[in-house]
Amino acid sequence: MDDRTEQALRQKLDSANFQRLAAIENPALHRFVAEAVELCEPDSVVVCTDSDEDIAMVRRMAIENSEETPLATEGHTFHFDGFADNQHHDQGRDKENTRYLVSPGTDLGGRLNQIDKQEGLSEVREFLAGSMRGRTALVRFFCLGPVDSAFSVSGVQVTDSAYVAHSEDLLYRSGYAQFKRLGDSEDFFRVLHSAGRLEHNVSADMDKRRIYIALDEQIVYSVNTQYAGNTVGFKKLSLRLAISKADREGWLAEHMLVVGIHGPGERVTYFTGAFPSACGKTSTAMLPGETIVGDDLAYLRAIDGELRAVNVEEGVFGIIRDVNPQDDPVIWQALQSPGEVIFSNVLVADGVPYWLGMEQATPGEGRNYSGEWHEGKTDSAGKEITLAHRNARYTVRQERLPNCDPHLQDPSGVKVSGVIYGGRDSDTCVPVEQAFDWAHGIITKAASLESETTAATLGAEGVRVFNPMSNIDFVAIPLGRYIENNLRIVEQLAKEPLIFGVNYFLKGADGAYLNAMEDKRVWLKWMELRVHGDVDAIERPTGLIPHYEDLQRLFRECLGRDYTRAAYDEQFELRVDKSLAKLDRVEAIYRESVPDAPEILYQIIEAQRQRLLAAR
Ligand code: SPV
Ligand code: MN
């Protein structure tokens, strides 16, 4: 360690903590921590190892500093994020203020929110300067993906929020031991976070909320926010770093669940699935009777001719709204049982958490993110304050779930046989449809994905937006190149996985959903059978759809209920005009804003257009 670094560290780290950091012989790590400490000026720094005591200490700190408060059930705590009114709050990802720091001459494409590196750095450094005075900085080490595997990526976070660090302990594999094996490699993700000035334990300066990402240096800066999507650096912030790294190294980093679908006999077939936030991803990963590898982030690699996937995480930061015994029995059970769970932005009354859509009686008053809450409470603009936030969340370790897949920690991941893409689409796509082949699927299901916006990001809800691969917010490389990487991964595979499009949100003429939430169980079982060639399909201009009889049998077997021909006809109707309009919209976006879109994209779109016109 150079003198200057050592001097900076010795000022704030006592000898035990200094030794822990020095034991990782990595100059780039030492410099990163030293610079963070010099900039943010915490009173002290605690370096956490992988030990149970350190993890327990972080949890205790979160309670002692009142970022979290215990609930009645053992192990449960709650946390609130900032709230001024329904328009100004800290309870979703802030896309507006999440920017890439780019050097002059670098062009990431017009689509990405970017800022000149010098300008952005000086702004965020100004907000971070002295931000940790009076506080303890925590240094945490994590491994993204299973440890000791071709997929493993190392990450370090410096944060002054014990809630953030505690969340990370539930969500990620410990990585102190892995950092010790890194040698002097500079190839690791770095995240520097400060919650900034606090009022009532929440970030107060929301107007100075910034999340800035330096791709080349693999550093994320996050300040004046606590919402996990803006601060838990190894979630979406590192997904951006991972997409850039994967592009350089020839693999894929995706906003995807990984689930094992249990077919006839002992057969387990693995699928990955990309859905925008709050569009059924976690509940697909948690289907009753199936097993979950991951619910949010996956790394995929071609290994020995197979597409293999791992969960980047080992915990779930899930949307709690609509979790009820009927629709999400596994999660419901975990949220009712003792054991570590963090509830965020729920209503609390007498030590019990409540949320929207839980389908239980809820109290007329209690405490929520707006302070003391009572039914009918409004914000300063006269808008209703709901009892819990629509993007309220729970954080839980996956191994606590009875449906956790045995391959969660498998260093070689699971073999992917099918890939699913789904958005929130009220009027165009059928509930389930197989693509003709990989390229057709990547272009018409993945790269053409559109979805109506939700509460998971700040801003208006219900607006149809273009969201290729459900990854638009995180694609840190030119979009055409990213699509090309997805197209080309199959060149290394002995057999192409099947691609499916799903739509859980189709509505009828009366505006009501045409499907129940549980219907997705049937769609997944059908896909599983398709992978193995156990059922036939009907060819249409947009792909291959199920035969009525197969679905009728699966509805009976999986859900114990009848599925009528009339329901099938309505759900699987070919909406020619809507499908054509979608092709036009998508093509226009590529022509206007994706200069490096591959030519094959236009060819596949045009061929689909011609098939639709012929069908009409
Ligand atoms: C999402 O919004 O897609 C999430 C939660 O999974 S977070 O990205 O952490 O906000
Ligand atoms: Mn997500």
Mean of per-residue pLDDT scores for the chain: 96
Residue whose Cα lies nearest atom 10 of ligand 1: it is 229
pLDDT of 49 > 90? The answer is: yes
Q: Name the band, by pLDDT with cuts 50, 70 and 90, for residue 105.
A: confident
The answer to whether the CB of 90 is under 6 A from ligand 1 is no
User: What mean pLDDT comes out for the span 476-487?
Assistant: 96
Per-residue confidence (pLDDT) for residue 111, from 0 to 100: 76
Q: How far apart are CA 497 and CA 499, in angstroms?
A: 7
* Tens-place pLDDT, residues 356-402: 999 999 999 999 999 999 999 999 999 999 999 999 999 999 999 99
* Tens-place pLDDT, residues 18-37: 999 999 999 999 999 999 99
* Tens-place pLDDT, residues 499-538: 999 999 999 999 999 999 999 999 999 999 999 999 999 9
User: What mean pLDDT comes out for the span 485-502?
Assistant: 98
- Centroid of chain to Cα 461: 18
Of 277 and 343, which is predicted with more confidence?
A: 343
Per-residue confidence (pLDDT) for residue 106, from 0 to 100: 84
Which token pair is 475?
């694609």
pLDDT of 51 > 80? The answer is: yes
User: What mean pLDDT comes out for the span 557-582?
Assistant: 98
User: What mean pLDDT comes out for the span 320-324?
Assistant: 95
Q: Name the band, by pLDDT with cuts 50, 70 and 90, for residue 138.
A: very high
Strand ranges inside 487-608, DSSP E: 498-502, 537-540, 543-546
pLDDT of 108 > 90? The answer is: no
Using the mean position of ligand 2's atoms as its centre, give its distance from the Cα of residue 468 in Å: 14
b/e for 186-201, b at 16 or more Cβ within 10 A? eebbbbbbbbbebeeb
pLDDT of 204 > 80? The answer is: yes
- Centroid of chain to Cα 104: 30
pLDDT of 327 > 90? The answer is: no
The answer to whether the CB of 229 is under 6 A from ligand 1 is yes
Per-residue confidence (pLDDT) for residue 457, from 0 to 100: 81
User: What mean pLDDT comes out for the span 80-99?
Assistant: 93
Are 300 and 309 spatial neighbours (Cβ–Cβ below 8 Å)? yes
b/e for 528-558, b at 16 or more Cβ within 10 A? bbbbeeebebeebbbbbbbebebbbbbbeeb
Q: Look at 98-112, 174-188, 353-367 and tell me which has the smallest mean pLDDT.
A: 98-112
Atom of ligand 1 nearest to the CA of 227: 10
Q: How far apart are CA 465 and CA 348, in angstroms?
A: 34
User: What mean pLDDT comes out for the span 471-475?
Assistant: 92
Per-residue confidence (pLDDT) for residue 463, from 0 to 100: 85
Task: State if pTM tops 0.85.
Answer: yes
Per-residue confidence (pLDDT) for residue 608, from 0 to 100: 98
Are 283 and 251 spatial neighbours (Cβ–Cβ below 8 Å)? no
Which token pair is 245?
């790294």
Q: What is the 3-state secondary structure (H, E, C) of 302-315?
A: EECCEEEEEECCCE
pLDDT of 266 > 90? The answer is: yes
Per DSSP, the residues of 241-290 read HHHHHHHHHT-EEESEEEEEEE-STT-EEEEEEE--TTSSHHHHHT-TTS
Residue whose Cα lies nearest atom 7 of ligand 1: it is 229
pLDDT of 586 > 80? The answer is: yes
Q: Is 349 exposed, middle or buried (0-12, 13-18, 19+ CB in 10 A)?
A: middle
Per-residue confidence (pLDDT) for residue 70, from 0 to 100: 98
Taking residue 121's Cβ as centre, other Cβ atoms within 10 Å add up to: 16
Which token pair is 191?
């995240």
pLDDT of 110 > 80? The answer is: no
Q: Name the band, by pLDDT with cuts 50, 70 and 90, for residue 112.
A: confident
Using the mean position of ligand 2's atoms as its centre, give its distance from the Cα of residue 277 in Å: 5
Amino acid in the structure at residue 238:
S
Per-residue confidence (pLDDT) for residue 459, from 0 to 100: 82
Using the mean position of ligand 2's atoms as its centre, give its distance from the Cα of residue 279 in Å: 10
Q: In the chain, what percentage of residues exceed pLDDT 90?
A: 95
Ligand located closest to 232 CA: 1
From the CA atom positions of the chain, what is the Rg in Å?
24
Residue whose Cα lies nearest atom 5 of ligand 1: it is 229
Per-residue confidence (pLDDT) for residue 66, from 0 to 100: 95
Using the mean position of ligand 1's atoms as its centre, give its distance from the Cα of residue 252 in Å: 19
* Tens-place pLDDT, residues 184-196: 999 999 999 999 9
pLDDT of 197 > 90? The answer is: yes
pLDDT of 404 > 90? The answer is: yes
pLDDT of 454 > 90? The answer is: no
pLDDT of 107 > 80? The answer is: no
The answer to whether the CB of 261 is under 6 A from ligand 1 is no
Per-residue confidence (pLDDT) for residue 458, from 0 to 100: 83
Residue whose Cα lies nearest atom 8 of ligand 1: it is 229
The answer to whether the CB of 605 is under 6 A from ligand 1 is no
Helices 117-128 and 27-40 meet at what angle, rounded to 10? 60
Per-residue confidence (pLDDT) for residue 482, from 0 to 100: 97
* Tens-place pLDDT, residues 335-348: 999 999 999 999 99
Are 466 and 589 spatial neighbours (Cβ–Cβ below 8 Å)? yes
Residues marked active site are found at 279
The answer to whether the CB of 341 is under 6 A from ligand 1 is no
pLDDT of 427 > 90? The answer is: yes
Q: Name the band, by pLDDT with cuts 50, 70 and 90, for residue 156.
A: very high
Indicate the top mutation candidate among 296, 345, 458 to test ligand 1's pocket, ranked by most ligand atoms within 8 A of CB. 296
